[in-house]
Every structure is written in C-alpha cells, then in structure tokens.
Structure 1
Amino acid sequence: MVASFTGLNIAVAGTGSIGKRHISEIEKLTSRVNWTFVRENKTHDQFSLEKQASLVSSVRQALITKPHFLIISNPSFLHAEIIQQALQASIPFYVEKPVAINHEQISALSNAIKVFHPLPCTQVGCNLRFLPSIRRFKEVIDEGLIGHIARASFEVGQWLPDWRPATNYIDSYSANPDQGGGVLLDLIHEIDIARWIFGTMKPISCIKSYVPSLEILSESVASATLTTPNNAIVNINLDYIARKPVRRYQVVGDKGTIVWDLSLKELTLQTVTNRYVLSCGPNDFDILGTYRTAWTTFLDSLCNDLVCVQPLTEGLETSALAIQLKEMACQI
C-alpha cells in the first residue's frame, strides 16, 4: 500500500502552484522523498532548498537518474514532448491536463503509445473524476434512475484575473493560445467529465468569443454542442468571465433531472413528485481533497501493479475532443 512507499526518488518538471500542490500531497502520503527538480537554469529558490532538491537542466537528465516516477506540471504546450521522453525511458508519470494542445501532439503521442507498448503506469490530472459528489452524479445516471437521457449541460466560469492572484494573468499560459491557453483546453475538466459519463460524443458545433476587457489572445468564452451515442444533446459552456465562480452540471431524463452544483455544494434529483438531496456534505464537494485521492490511487497502482485508473490514453481522448472543438469553433 501507499504506506510502504519510503525513500522515493521523484522527478518534477514544473514547480509552480500546481506542482507545489502535488509535492505537498505526496509528502503527506509518503516519507523520505528524494526530489529532483527540472530547471533549465539550475537555480535554487527557497522552495527547492526547503525540499533539499537536486536540480537538473532537462527532463532527459532527470530520467537518466531512473526516478520511481515523474510529475509533469509545467505549461501545457510542453507536456507532449516530455510524455514521449518518459515513455521511451519507461518511467511512470503523473501528467497535468491537457496532455496535448494540437493535432500534431496528439498524433505524436498516439504513435509513441504504439511504439513503447506496454506502457508504464500513467495517470492524467483530471482530478474532478475523484470528487465524491461527481462520482455519485455519474452513478445515478449509470443506474438509469433518471431514465432515457434527453439533454445535458456542463457549465463552468470564473474571472481569469482571480485564478492566480499572485501573478499577472496576462503573462500566464492561459492568455496565450500557443501555450494551451483558452477556455476549451484550460477548462477541459467539463469536457472530460462529459466524456467520462457519456463516452464517445459527436461534436456538432462550437462557437467562441473574446472579451476585450481581459486583453488576451485566447478565447475567453466558448459554447459547444455535441450528441451522445443515444442521441442526447450535450451543451458545454466555458468562460473566463464569471465574476462569481460557477460550476454546474445538469442531466435531464424522462424520469427525472439530476443537478450537481459546486457553488451550492449540492447534488439533487428531481422526479415527477419529489426532490431528493443526494449529497450536500462538505467532503463530497472538497476539490482539494481530490488531489489526495488522485495521488493515493496513482501510488497504489504503481505499488501494487494495478490497472491505472485514469491512464494516458484517457487523457489523450479528452484532449483530442477539446482540440477538435477548438479547431471547429466559429468566432462571434
């Protein structure tokens, strides 16, 4: 089990806010970690000194040390190249979403998966799949409690300058489409959850817009329509604009409607005669707790040679769908 992991050698490409969060969670689950940080200039800061980390200037140098696994948490446009290096070296890895930002990267990763098969243990950081209330949301749908599904909507929005208060959002990758910025890739969780629930979906249309007040090159609003294999209509609405953060999912069936609302911290089922609150406890909506669950799952898979719960192939399919929507999006 996880408790047996001591003396791990872990390499990290990307020690920004999300990289630091991953490091913090790992240290809560393991002991005596030996860290190697990838930094092109090999310059220490307070954080690397606190972790007594070794510094290397490239991922290839980090992989030569044969770490137990690699964390890939640098800007999105760099993920695909590092993934290929890790696969070639047969090093397990945990990679932040998205795994790719264009069709060329999708093609390169698809080829690498074929060439370097069997793959090491991998996990993609779409951590909302581990949120208890969302797992219950999916269970109710899978159990057929809302009947034949007619339509669904997945909505998320938050004012981009509020995301990372300590940094200038205009300088972030979110503002730069060449680095994976824009809501269709940056807010890929909703696309991933929709695909997780409904499987392969057919994109019908996508529109995008740019809000001048943000002064960024990436699309700041997008609305996509897809259909499921059972002809349900799925709408996915994403934005960098909502001044009050919103994250809300709704699936409508001929026997009932289920609604998941993060702001209200409530999961409800509405039938013809009754409204049921299926989940409203704080732990069921604790997104920060999903990082702990994700890392517990990954370490268990790695330690016990279990099937990876959210492997690279899953992340690749979600990224491919997001890229398809991004490329078909019409500007308004």
Structure 2
Amino acid sequence: MRVLLLGTGSIGRRHARNLRALDATCDFVVVRSGARRDEYTDSLGATVVPDLQQGLTCEPDVAVVATPSAVHARSLIPTLDAGLPVYVEKPVVTRVGDMADVAEALERRTISAPTMAGCNLRFLPSLGFVRDLVRSGALGRVVRAHFECGQWLPDWRETDYRQSYSANAEAGGGVLLDLIHEFDACRWILGEVRAVAAAADQLSGLEIDTEDVAVALLRGEAGTLVSVGLDYVARRRIRRYEFVGTDGTAVWDFAASRVLVNGVPTQALPTDAFDVGATYVSAMREFLECAAVGSPTSQEISQALGSTALALRCKELAEPWQ
C-alpha cells in the first residue's frame, strides 16, 4: 500500500506510525516544499516530492491530510478530485468558503472511494456506550445536555504553545474549531442541532490571538436544550458530557475515566473504554478496510462538514461578543 502523506507534524506522524503498525509493508510519499528530506522522512523510507501534483503521479492508494487545518482545502480538494480514498484530520476546514468548495468536490466525485474525517472520539467504547444509552431511550426523553472541554494550553501542547496553531487565528486556532470534538459528539449522540447563541473571548492572558473561552447554546430537533463550554484555561483537564432525561441522567467523565448512570458508576465497560490512543488506530483501521472494498466509512467527510458548519455558525454568532 502506498500512502500520500500531507503533513508531518505531530498528528501526521501519529498517523504514519499507525499506518505502519496496521500494514508493515506500506510505503509513504511525503509532500515537502523543495522535496526537503530530513531524519524523519529517512526513518520512514519515504519518497519525498515537492508538490501535491507530483505526489499524485506516484499513484498512491490512499491519502492522509494532516496539514494545518486552515490549509486543508488546498490538499483535500485535489486528492478528492483524483478519486483517492482520503482521511482528513479535524476540523475538515476552518472557513465557510472552503466548506462550500469541499462540498462541491465531493459532489463531482465519480468514483465511490471512501473518505473519513478524524473525529476519533467516536471510537471510544465508553462514549459509544453513552450514545447507545441515549439512543435506546433508556434515559427517556433527553431534555437537556451539556458538553464541556477545557485544558491549560501550555500544558496541552508539547512545544511552545505560542507557536502552535491553537494560538493562531489564521491557522484555524481557537477553541470553537480546535475543540470541535464536542460539537461532533453532540451531533453523533443527539442528532442534528442548530446554534441558537454563542459568546467567545480571550480572557486568560495567554499569548494567543484566538478565543480561549467560548459558550454555545444549541437546540436539537426534538427540542433538547444543549450547552457547550470550551476553554484553553482549565488547569485540571476537563472533558465531561451530561445528559438529563425524563427517566434518568448519564454523565460521561473522561478525566475520571467513568460513566455514571443515575449517579452510579457503570461496570459494563471494556478495559480500553477511555483509551484515546487506541481510537486513532481503530479509525485508521476502519478507513483502510473501507478503502480496500470501496465502502463508506462511519465518518464520511460529507457528514463531518455538518460539525464544521455548526462550529463556524457558533463562531459567527460569537463575533459581537469579542
């Protein structure tokens, strides 16, 4: 298998490791300006090419787009037009115009090659358990839900946070897009929602030019009221979802590695229920399996654009507050 790898930052390298673990024989074509080689590309044994068009001439079997989010469209659209199976990191894009361009590229595809967006939290067994609980009706009618995620940005980023895309609005940073997992999980568990209101600001004193805190109010098709709270500020990592139904309440608490149903920890979870590292492997395995037979994945880019649209709408609603 030949993989066209676009982006060799931390997430691109993670995907390369997982691809090699899933298929020890896979080889990589890496796009680098000036076809620049380094120790990393040498360790992969990669073919290095100066631009995407030359990469496509190498006849890759699949493409992985892990460039900075703000420039995803530059790589994503040509790979879609080439008919390749494509895995793209989240968020798919960071601008409304790019979202429309990607949607058009998907519509004009004549080859039924699968795509996948990297919202890997969907592969957490614990979150899947909660989704099944909600969708089975075990909680009754869900009237209210809350999704929150926060972490101190300097602790989150392995290198200088000020140089990360999270700190740079032009690169697609800011909590509303960077923490798009919460919007995606909301849609995955509850179904489609619409943005009612949002507020965002830069309040922490972090040396960034993006919003470091945001709150959004959403409403589901069945009337469910949903709140989303996001930040780069929490000194203790937070990722917690709560669902209040007419017959029960469920809480998914990632930091505590537990699911509470009516206040009682559930025991019906596998040992890897909160293993995020395993979700990247699971997602890539599904992508490769679907690519091999030409079947759709569980997270097609066309579906993921819905989460992008929701985050961008919240960003638009929040602008008067900034």
Q: What TM bracket, shorter-length normalisation?
A: over 0.9
2:96 alignment partner in structure 1: 103
1:150-169 equivalences in 2 (<5 Å):
150-165=143-158, 167-169=159-161
- 1:202 Cα deviation from its structure 2 partner: 1.6
**What amino acid sits opposite 1:284 in the alignment?**
A
2:35 alignment partner in structure 1: 42
List per-residue Cα deviations over 1:105-127 (Å, max 9, x = no partner).
11111222222244421110000
Aligned-pair identity in percent equals 36
Distance 1:102 1:242 in 2: 27
Count of equivalent residues: 321
8 Å CA contact 2:83–2:110 kept in 1: the answer is: no
Corresponding residue SS for 2:33: coil
List per-residue Cα deviations over 1:47-82 (Å, max 9, x = no partner).
111111111111221112120011100100111121
CA 1:138–1:212: 2 relative to 1, 3 Å = closer
Q: Which runs of 5+ in 1 are unaligned?
A: 1-7
8 Å CA contact 1:260–1:268 kept in 2: the answer is: yes
1:61-76 equivalences in 2 (<5 Å):
61-76=54-69
Distance 1:210 1:262 in 2: 25
CA 1:247–1:296: 2 relative to 1, 3 Å = same
8 Å CA contact 2:149–2:229 kept in 1: the answer is: yes
Corresponding residue SS for 1:111: helix
Whether 2:228 is the aligned partner of 1:236: answer yes
8 Å CA contact 2:193–2:218 kept in 1: the answer is: yes
**What amino acid sits opposite 2:225 in the alignment?**
I
Distance 2:100 2:259 in 1: 38
- 1:212 Cα deviation from its structure 2 partner: 4.4
Q: 1:183 aligns with which of 150, 165, 175?
A: 175
- 1:229 Cα deviation from its structure 2 partner: 0.8
List per-residue Cα deviations over 1:168-196 (Å, max 9, x = no partner).
11111111111111000000000000011
2:257 alignment partner in structure 1: 265
Corresponding residue SS for 1:44: coil
8 Å CA contact 1:63–1:91 kept in 2: the answer is: no
How large is the Cα RMSD of the aligned pairs? 1.4
Distance 1:279 1:300 in 2: 28
8 Å CA contact 2:28–2:46 kept in 1: the answer is: yes
2:316 alignment partner in structure 1: 327
8 Å CA contact 2:113–2:296 kept in 1: the answer is: no
Distance 1:214 1:281 in 2: 38
Distance 1:187 1:85 in 2: 26
Structure 1 ranges of 4+ moved more than 4 A: 278-282
8 Å CA contact 1:175–1:181 kept in 2: the answer is: yes
List per-residue Cα deviations over 1:2-53 (Å, max 9, x = no partner).
xxxxxx1111010111111111111111121111111113221211111111
1:311 alignment partner in structure 2: 300
8 Å CA contact 2:239–2:253 kept in 1: the answer is: yes
1:248 alignment partner in structure 2: 240
Distance 1:116 1:313 in 2: 12
Q: 2:113 aligns with which of 116, 120, 143?
A: 120
8 Å CA contact 2:199–2:215 kept in 1: the answer is: yes
Distance 1:66 1:43 in 2: 20
1:288 alignment partner in structure 2: 277
**What amino acid sits opposite 1:245 in the alignment?**
R
In the superposition, the TM-score normalised over structure 1's length comes to: 0.93
Q: Which runs of 5+ in 2 are unaligned?
A: none
Distance 1:232 1:75 in 2: 34
In the superposition, the TM-score normalised over structure 2's length comes to: 0.96
8 Å CA contact 1:224–1:235 kept in 2: the answer is: yes
1:197 alignment partner in structure 2: 189
Q: 2:78 aligns with which of 71, 79, 85?
A: 85
CA 1:21–1:281: 2 relative to 1, 3 Å = same
